[in-house]
Structure 1
Amino acid sequence: MISTQETTFPSHNGGSEGSVLPILGLKLNRNNFPQWAQSIMMYACGKGKDDYLTREIAVPEKEDPKFKTWKAENMMVMSRLINSMTTKVGEIFMIYATAKEMWDVTRKTYSDNENTSELIEIKGILHDP
């Protein structure tokens, strides 16, 4: 049985958005990328922040009043990504400056790894008498 945790997520302006969402206690490791990625995308879409993962959001100039909002929202998504990884995995991805970079490298690293793991398992089954 998968346990869920009810959590209220703060908005980028420091207040509460008032929505309580069930969160799976799923942490990215080497074996669960597809489930983890779906969980992250559901969260990001639910917050209207999926563009921070799926396409490059134009970074406003630092003098632009929109920069502060962009930075806060980007950091919120990055924080969600890091907090949903095991400590060992999360430490690897702390070096990236945007959620998009972090998402792309995570996908490249673990989706390929997942496919390789499945191929090895299938080859093992085929070779067992």
Structure 2
Amino acid sequence: SRNSEGGNDHKGGGNPFSYGSTVKLDGHNYELWSRSFMLSVKGHRKRHIIEEDEPTNKSGKYITWEEDDSMVMSWIMNSVQPQIASTITYYTTAKEMWEFLRQTYSQDKN
């Protein structure tokens, strides 16, 4: 799609800084938050970012992966309460953040 400023929208359309979920993780609503967040991530075609490992080949597709990973990390940071965001700030991939939040807040820790 095209926008009025001449730039390109990301796949999935809309604002690249908007992940589409209004549910914020507060420490007690993990199941609702994770379901809502995953639906949005799937809708933006970024599910692989939190499910697959970082590419080992650091050229070509890696640049796209790194950009997508940064975007999903920002979505995660913006979808949690500030006290939770401070616990994930130093993770280096969205997958690491996602796994930490699952391990910390999910009732089903498997």
Same fold (TM over 0.5): yes
1:93 aligns with 2:88: yes
Percent sequence identity is: 30
More helix by share: 1
- SS of the residue corresponding to residue 106 of structure 2 reads helix
Q: Where has structure 1 moved over 3 Å in runs of 4 or more?
A: 17-24
Q: Deviations over 1:43-92 (max 9, x none)?
A: 1111111111122242431xx13222111000011110010001111111
| Aligned amino acid, residue 45 of structure 1 | K
Q: Deviations over 1:78-125 (max 9, x none)?
A: 11001000111111101111111110011000014x89xxxxxxxxxx
- Residue number in structure 2 paired with 1:25: 22
- Residue number in structure 1 paired with 2:68: 73
Bigger relative CO (Cα 8 Å, ≥ 6 apart): 2
Residues 27, 48 of structure 1: CA spacing in aligned structure 2 closer, same or farther, 3 A cutoff? Answer: same
User: TM-score, length-normalised on structure 2?
Assistant: 0.77
* 1:47-86 equivalent positions in 2, closer than 5 A: 47-61=44-58, 64-86=59-81
- Residue number in structure 2 paired with 1:15: 8
User: TM-score, length-normalised on structure 1?
Assistant: 0.67
Shift of 1:33: 0.4
More strand by share: 1
Provide the C-alpha distance between the structure 1 equivalents of 2:56 and 2:69, rounded to a whole number of angstroms: 10
- Aligned length in residues: 99
Provide the C-alpha distance between the structure 2 equivalents of 1:27 and 1:100, rounded to a whole number of angstroms: 18
| Aligned amino acid, residue 89 of structure 1 | I
Provide the C-alpha distance between the structure 1 equivalents of 2:106 and 2:31, rounded to a whole number of angstroms: 7
Contact (CA 8 Å) 1:33, 1:110: kept in 2 or not? yes
Gaps of 5+ in 2: 1-6
RMSD: 2.4
Gaps of 5+ in 1: 1-13, 116-129
